[in-house]
Amino acid sequence: MKFDIVTIFPRMFEAPLGEGVVARGIEAGVVDVAVHDLREFTTDRHRVVDDVPYGGGPGMVMKPEPFVRAVDHIRATRGEPAAVVLTSPQGRRLMQADVERLAGLGHLVVLCGRYEGIDDRVREHVATEEISIGDYVLSGGELAALVIVDAVARLVPGVVGDTRSVEAESFTRGLLDYPHFTRPAAFQGWAVPEVLLSGHHGEIERWRRREAVRRTLAHRPDLVDVARLDPVERAMYDELKERATSVAPKHEGAGAPIEGADHERD
Ligand code: 9D3
């Protein structure tokens, strides 16, 4: 998988690409990331990359020519990319489905904007897609580019050493993960849920699925709407939903506390 990033801040990429899963992919030779300094593609003495907006208004706009020259350079030296991604707050929100599609493309160029944005002719004539990473304001496209590279690179075969966790993602069918614990079994009076120490693999499996459904319902009800629940998870969901919406029973009918129900602050 080949990535080419175009930015005025190439040093922002050094530490993130030099550590962790992406660095391992680069070392293993299955990921290749080239970071290009946009100023290298200017032609004036002062290496200017921005200018005042036509029509007036605050701030500066990135000039189109350095981006066009950078992408032409990439085409000539690195080959024809399958996609040219423009990072922008106006883009479609990045989803795991996009990440999977991009991972199948083999060669991506990512253009990072700064200031008020990039001259729109770059989006129209150079970019093949425009991507945002979420509904909050960043100061530029570099962190978005790093998010895209990280999410895509970890799907490249050979990047994540133990492939079981990547494979497990396809079995969650859109639910959040279940809670994880490791030793010690008790720490400062904080106990690991008993069921996980029981060795009953069937019960553990059922507890984890129920916790995944419960957390998704509590934190991301929007995901439950699109999650593909199997009949067991559907039953867990109906039961949790019933409990959440029913009127609290009077004291004498309350019964025993539910195991694990007090574990998380929702
Ligand atoms: C404060 C400037 N805003 C005026 C209405 C517009 C604006 C311009 C440029 C807001 C943010 C940015 C810089 N952001 C990105 O380049 C960016 C981004 C983001 O801010 N959020 C989520 N995804 C992305 S991808 C690129």
Nearest CA to ligand 1 atom 3: 116
Question: What pLDDT does residue 266 have?
Answer: 56
User: Which atom of ligand 1 is least distant from the CA of 131?
Assistant: 25
The rounded percent of the chain whose pLDDT value lies above 70 is 93
Q: Which residues line ligand 1 (CB under 6 A)?
A: 87-89, 113, 116-117, 132-134, 136-141, 144
The rounded percent of the chain whose pLDDT value lies above 90 is 86
Question: What pLDDT does residue 251 have?
Answer: 59
| DSSP per residue, 43-97 | -STT---EEPPTT--SS-EE-HHHHHHHHHHHHHHH---SEEEEEEEEEEEP-HH
> Each residue of 63-86: pLDDT tens digit?
999 999 999 999 999 999 999 999
Nearest CA to ligand 1 atom 13: 140
Question: What pLDDT does residue 248 have?
Answer: 72
Distance 7 CA to ligand 1 centre (A): 15
Say if residue 252's pLDDT is above 60. Answer: no
- 114 in helix, strand or coil? coil
User: Which atom of ligand 1 is least distant from the CA of 115?
Assistant: 9
* pTM assigned to the model: 0.93
Helices (DSSP H) in 79-220: which residue ranges?
A: 96-103, 120-125, 142-153, 164-169, 194-197, 201-219
CA 203 to CA 208: how far, in whole Å? Answer: 9
- Structure tokens, 249: 């029973």
CA 222 to CA 165: how far, in whole Å? Answer: 24
